[in-house]
A and B are shown apart, each in its own frame.
Chain A
Amino acid sequence: MTVIISLLAAVTLILIAIIGAGTLGLQYLFGIVIPYATLAAFLFGIVYRVVKWARSPVPFHIPTTCGQQKSHPWIKYSKLESPFTALEVTGRMALEILFFRSLFRNTKVDLKKGPKLVYGSEKYLWLAGLAFHWSFLIILVRHLRFFVEPVPFFVAALQTLDGFFQIWLPIIYITDVVILVALLFLLFRRLYDPKLRYFSLAADYFPLFLLLSIAVTGYLMRYTGAKADLIAVKELAMGLLSFRPTIPVGLDTIFFIHLFLVSVLIAYFPFSKLMHMAGVFMSPTRNLANNSRAKRHVNPWDYDVKVHTYEEYEDEFREVMKAAKMPLEKE
């Protein structure tokens, strides 16, 4: 049910763009107003959400330690799994953010007769996740050729690298293939595994359908007869970026669909689970050093609580303590 609703939502978005930018010719709306509005929502939304998170303090020092602590000098401690210094925390975070360290640990449990529990390695989620995220980043950077002039060397270099195999014309980018396979796998996995299907929400399927639609419209414009006029596309982008927006001639409906879907994605981003992009930096179980006995962590909202003092204790138990010949403060 949630799958169908999410799929319908993505289809509806495509139809809106077809009718809006195509049939009704609202190119100014779809090419200028909506991109500006959604970009503003994206930037404002992300900052708003992060600031909102940041306004809640981290009262306690709660890293999850995934390796040996630093104690004796003769016991080698795990700098990246149980970091002690800020630099080591940076290392742990880098592994987490760039290579999905924790997901790499993933296992799969199997209950065999006996009963016997068996834990197998399960790296597909890690692989697909990593493949998707890295491809997405590279595709994003590649798109800079539409957004900046002159095009910096690293964009050109990345294109060359990404088109390393020189298959087809225009050359098929490796990331274009990888991201599609990864997204389809992630979708398949959600639908195939009964556990995942059980707890997946519309908010889990929708971004997948949205990203797939974006990818497919992109492929159409690059690899098929529905080729876009790239000069016109860049002209539109440069106009937007220099706050002199114009709608150049030569933009097709397929381009507006692509642009509209991207606009929806960035507007949706700050208000959805996609905020894990920023959240991963702020997770107190990962971004704190395991040094809480060496360095005091301060809780800003700490308050005094009612405690039971030794005096109260002795007052209650003085007689029995006396009888048991235990030392007393007051005889």
Chain B
Amino acid sequence: MAEDKKTPEELAQISYRPPGKTWMDSTVEFRKGTYNYGAVPASAAYMNLPFPRKWQPTNEDWNLPEDWQKIIFEGMRERLNRYRSFRVFMDICVRCGACADKCHYFIGSGDPKNMPVLRAELLRSVYRNDFTAFGKLLGRFAGGRKLTIDILKEWFFYFYQCTECRRCSVFCPYGIDTAEITMMARELLNLVGINIDWIATPLANCFRTGNHLGVQPHGFKDSIEFAVEEFEELTGIKVEAPINRKGAEVLFVAPSADYFASPHYYTLLGYLALFHEIGLDYTWSSFASEGGNFGLFHSAEVMKRLNAKIYMESRRLGVKWILGGECGHMWRVLHQYMDTINGPANHLEVPVSPITGTRFENAKSTKMVHIAEFTSDLMRHNKIKLDPSRNDHWNVTFHDSCNPARAMGLIEEPRYVIRNVCNHFHEMPENTIKEQTFCCGSGSGIGTDENLEMRLRGGLPRANACKYVHDKYGVNLLLCICAIDKATLPPLLEYWVPGIEVGGIHEMVGNALIMKGENERATDLRGTPTKKVEEGKEVTEDV
């Protein structure tokens, strides 16, 4: 990537003026940095996905099955009959254009096919041509297009340039949700063996080992134990972190990046600190060692196959309810899909916080609680002692992750937590947060190195909003509650607005939490000296 890397100034040369030519017959160019690699056959085969084969988007011949068009049409018909959203969204768009400049990819690239309306038209034109009376009659004049290999390639290109963030659907007068359309398109592409590796391989890993990274049980245990030791070094407190323990009250499920990647890792330390301090009777699971679910980015079926392990494991371990960590798309699945696809969870009980006695009525059917809900409840009831000044070296802002904001409405809980543990909290401009939040640019399985240019483009609106608070308030830490954010925002910010680090809210909780018997904290959980510590005192660099 290095040799053809553009400077931020070059990349920001964006024109929102579309070309003069019609969009209907242009073809896509798979330029380095703007697409994702095809799935390796072994991963696709492990998941029994159709037509696993060696394949790359840049190949002239995609080696499609003989009757690929028929497969697509059958797939479309089936999905039209299964999803009211798909059918209605195909029919009622009036092309008012309200969505056009709401997409972070359009804002960052100026590519007109990244306008949600036109992204949908890529699929809608084929639907119109073959499924509607006007289309069959008038064809192109009615906005219909015959399905060709070029169109299929275009689908692949643009439906893997949508992060299913749903920002467009907030502004659409009919609530047309491009995420739904992208999901359908990706399912159709899967039917003819078109998948990307960054989705297919995590799927296979997760199916086999319980997590996307393919961490085997002993590796998982090592990671958790490493964190426990690390935490002891930092604070002098040895916490318990039970794994696969039967009879615990709560099963805790977090995204796997929390125990394997940085800066997620500090959030993990935060969880460990909190659970220890409140004496939570809980367990981790190596089998359900992943809250994230890349199945959401692939197909409803695979999503269900992966999600099943959470309820299965909660049943096997005999817990009462489930607590979920900081992760964005994970929570879309848990909040909007899990009960439907793998419920009802009659083996569990309505979640009750053992510390405060709060009954989580809003989760009484699914029986899974978000950690921001859980922790904010602890704080509200003054069950934990906090010293927010320990975070005084951080000037923080909060990035609402797409799914918690627009598929869950989890907006105030994390802010409540932040306000309790940070003294310096500044919001980004209102058009870039809460339900109008901008995606990190790398969600929905397209946060790959090979796709870096598109990620940087898509992340521009978010980074730009960060720059605003960085310049205005000196913000130096972006908090978020999503594992993909934590993985992809650091390089994004490094590129557009150096000087902002990324962290999770439970990292801040871990910093501020006053624990019984702890040593004086010379540094925060990531080894940065706290403000109270004198200048020049030696600091150990962690992780």
Contact = CB atoms under 8 A, between A and B. Distances in A.
B118 interface: yes
A293 B335 contact: yes
B365 A105 contact: no
Given A297-B340, A301-B82, A75 B410 contact: no
A67 B411 contact: yes
A284 B85 CA distance: 6
Contact of A54 (B16, B84, B377): B84
Interface stretch (A15-23, A57-65, A164-172, A219-227): A57-65
A114 B463 CA distance: 12
B98 interface: yes
A74 interface: yes
Interface in A104-120: 105-109, 111, 114-117, 119
B362 interface: yes
Nearest to B407: A65
Contacts of B92: 273, 275-276, 279-280, 283
Contacts of B170: 64, 66, 102, 105
Interface in B465-516: 465, 467
Interface stretch (A176-184, A201-209, A236-244, A249-257): A201-209
Interface stretch (B154-162, B175-183, B389-397, B445-453): B175-183
Contacts of A129: 96, 173
B362 A70 contact: yes
Contacts of B312: 307, 309-310
B100 interface: yes
Contacts of B308: 305, 307
A53 B84 contact: yes
Contacts of B279: none
Task: Name A's interface SS.
Answer: loop
B409 A308 contact: no
A130 B380 CA distance: 43
Contacts of B169: 64, 285
Interface residues of B, number: 121
A327 B171 contact: no
A64 B84 contact: no
Interface stretch (B63-71, B193-201, B210-218, B257-265): B210-218
B210 A102 contact: no
A203 B137 CA distance: 14
A326 B217 contact: yes
B95 A201 contact: yes
Interface in A279-331: 279-280, 282-286, 290-299, 301-302, 305-310, 313, 316-317, 320-321, 323-324, 326-327, 329
Contacts of A282: 84, 88
Contacts of A302: 340-341
Nearest to B364: A294
A12 interface: no
Interface string A69-81: 1111011011001
A29 interface: no
Nearest to A198: B18
A296 B343 contact: yes
Contact of B380 (A74, A198, A279): A74
A271 interface: yes
A57 B82 contact: yes
B439 interface: no
B117 interface: yes
Contacts of A188: none
Contacts of B16: 109, 111, 195
B531 interface: no
B107 interface: yes
Contacts of B377: 72
B130 interface: no
A296 B208 contact: no
Contacts of A105: 170-171, 436
A273 B95 contact: yes
Contacts of B112: 195, 198-199
Nearest to A277: B92
A5 interface: yes
Contacts, number: 319
Given A297-B340, A299-B340, A313-B287, A204 B94 contact: yes
Given A58-B85, A65-B407, A72-B413, A195 B207 contact: no
Given A56-B80, A72-B380, A96-B173, A308 B365 contact: no
A317 B216 contact: yes
A211 interface: no
B305 A201 contact: no
A31 to B, nearest CB: 27
A294 B363 contact: yes
B405 interface: yes
Nearest to A113: B12
Contact of B88 (A66, A279, A290): A279
Given A81-B435, A326-B243, A103 B171 contact: yes
Contact of A115 (B8, B287, B343): B8
Q: Determine the interface band of chain A, counting residues with CB < 8 A from chain B.
A: 35 or more
Interface string B72-110: 000000001111111111011111111011100001000
Interface string B138-180: 0001110000000000000000000000100111111111001
Contacts of B361: 294
B535 to A, nearest CB: 34
Interface in B402-430: 405-413, 416, 429
B413 A64 contact: no
A280 B174 contact: yes
B81 to A, nearest CB: 5
A56 B366 CA distance: 25
A299 B409 contact: no
B117 A62 contact: no
A57 B364 CA distance: 25
Most chain-B CB neighbours within 10 Å: which of A54, A100, A111?
A111
A200 interface: yes
B18 A294 contact: no
Contacts of B316: 310, 329
Contacts of B95: 196, 199-201, 204, 273
A75 to B, nearest CB: 5
A160 interface: no
Nearest to A78: B409
Given A62-B407, A70-B362, A53 B91 contact: yes
A125 interface: yes
A64 B406 contact: yes
Given A202-B142, A271-B133, A115 B464 contact: yes
A202 B143 contact: yes
Given A52-B87, A275-B91, A323-B218, 10 more contacts: A54-B84, A69-B362, A70-B362, A102-B175, A105-B436, A119-B432, A198-B112, A202-B143, A316-B208, A326-B243
28 contacts: A58-B83, A59-B83, A61-B340, A66-B170, A66-B406, A66-B435, A69-B408, A69-B409, A70-B362, A81-B409, A103-B173, A107-B171, A116-B467, A117-B107, A119-B431, A203-B134, A280-B92, A283-B88, A283-B92, A284-B85, A285-B169, A286-B174, A290-B409, A296-B344, A298-B340, A299-B341, A317-B217, A326-B217
Closest 10 CB pairs of A and B: A69-B409, A279-B92, A115-B12, A65-B409, A324-B218, A285-B175, A119-B431, A198-B18, A286-B175, A82-B409
